[in-house]
Structure 1
Amino acid sequence: MRPHEEHKAKGPQRASFWVVTVSTSRFEAAKSGHSYTDESGDVAVRMIEAAGHRVAGRSLIKDDVVMIRSVLMDLLKRDDVDAVVFTGGTGIARSDVTVEAVRPLLDKEIDGFGDIFRLESYREVGTAAIMSRALAGIINGKLVVALPGSPNAVEVGLRIILPEVPHILYLARL
């Protein structure tokens, strides 16, 4: 067995995820009692569960650095959360602040994830892929992923990262 296969086999085969949707418009709708849809969060939950992992919970927050960091820090303290997936806020609009909130907190960034995400996105949407700032990294032995807010982008990102979750968590906890 090759080393990366051995690491993957030693890692947790069933990880526990928390899905956080970052969207001011949805947050405001929910806050005022209006209905909203969260297709990207729904895609994330479906894919995580289909990969054999567990979704411990979901959150909806607005595009706000302080709120994003606060929610993330609370989730990182939980024993029932191995990975946090953010959807939304990774573009280049002024309101897109998920990357600014998350990146400074990372112990290690998994640079290859963003590279492969943009390559796969390029194959699907062309040169618009250069505007994505999707990222993944480790904080205190837990995986943190920040994906764009479109359902298709969530699918692309999770298709890349989910097969490596056992491997990532094994190495992150050494």
Structure 2
Amino acid sequence: MVLVHERDVQYGVAIITVSSSRFEKHGPLKGKERIPEDDESGREILKAFSEKVVDYYLVPDSVMEIRSAVFDALRKADVCILTGGTGLNPKDLTIEALKDLFEKEIEGFGEIFRMQSFKEIGYSAILSRATAGIINGKVVFCLPGSKRAVILGLEIIKASLKHILSHAKGLA
């Protein structure tokens, strides 16, 4: 279904996996061909957007590292999808790193994500801080690190991405 304000926009996608444990195991990784086998969530995003993926980053749970990767990614991509670091653990810093940078937060994304999560996992869905926002006319999605959560998030993203981009770029 094409929405009234949706345009056929061209876009590239950057994937950022936020995981201190994976970072300790593999070190810093950059490039879509470098997604580790054990990064199931990153691989799901790659599978969903295949030819649209322009870059991949593996970073630790660090506000500075997350922000640096996002700023670098947004130089090449119109869409940045982060996975990991969105939980309630004190070490989970993805939301803290990015929320203040959002020019506009897309609250509906997190609301729909939690609603759909509730259907699958019940009240544990309240633990999710999944969110999205606009930075410099580009869209940033923050998803939990689990493969199942990423698959759910991708379903929502794929259904609404062109519409969101049309608005973010002032085309709608």
Normalised to the residue count of structure 1, the TM-score between the two structures is 0.88
- 1:70-149 paired onto structure 2 within 5 Å: 70-76=68-74, 78=75, 80-149=76-145
Residue 156 of structure 1 corresponds to which residue in structure 2? 152
Alignment root-mean-square deviation, CA: 1.8
* Pairing 1:55–2:56 present: no
Amino acid corresponding to residue 165 of structure 2 in structure 1: L
Q: Is the 8 A contact 2:14 2:81 kept in 1?
A: yes
CA distance in 1, matches of 2:113, 2:161: 16
Amino acid corresponding to residue 117 of structure 1 in structure 2: F
Deviation at 1:43, TM superposition (A): 0.7
* Pairing 1:16–2:17 present: no
Q: Flag as ranges the 4+ runs of structure 1 deviating above 4 A.
A: none
CA distance in 2, matches of 1:75, 1:19: 8
What secondary structure is seen at the aligned counterpart in 1 of 2:132?
strand
Identity among equivalent positions (%) equals 45
Q: Is the 8 A contact 2:17 2:57 kept in 1?
A: yes
Deviation digits for residues 94-126 of structure 1, max 9, x if unmatched? 110000001000000110000000011111111
CA distance in 2, matches of 1:36, 1:7: 39
Amino acid corresponding to residue 40 of structure 1 in structure 2: S
Q: What are the ranges of 5 or more consecutive residues in structure 2 without an aligned counterpart?
A: 29-35
Residue 37 of structure 1 corresponds to which residue in structure 2? 38
Amino acid corresponding to residue 168 of structure 1 in structure 2: I
Residue 67 of structure 1 corresponds to which residue in structure 2? 65
Q: Is the 8 A contact 1:30 1:36 kept in 2?
A: no
Q: 1:25 aligns with which of 21, 27, 30?
A: 21
Normalised to the residue count of structure 2, the TM-score between the two structures is 0.89
Amino acid corresponding to residue 49 of structure 2 in structure 1: I
What secondary structure is seen at the aligned counterpart in 1 of 2:142?
strand
Q: Is the 8 A contact 1:26 1:36 kept in 2?
A: no
Q: Is the 8 A contact 2:55 2:73 kept in 1?
A: no
CA distance in 2, matches of 1:6, 1:127: 35
Amino acid corresponding to residue 41 of structure 2 in structure 1: S
CA distance in 2, matches of 1:134, 1:5: 24
Q: 2:3 aligns with which of 5, 12, 21?
A: 5
Q: What are the ranges of 5 or more consecutive residues in structure 1 without an aligned counterpart?
A: none
Number of equivalences = 163
What secondary structure is seen at the aligned counterpart in 2 of 1:129?
helix
Amino acid corresponding to residue 109 of structure 2 in structure 1: F
What secondary structure is seen at the aligned counterpart in 2 of 1:15?
coil
Deviation at 1:48, TM superposition (A): 2.0
Deviation at 1:36, TM superposition (A): 6.0
What secondary structure is seen at the aligned counterpart in 1 of 2:69?
helix
Q: Is the 8 A contact 1:16 1:83 kept in 2?
A: yes
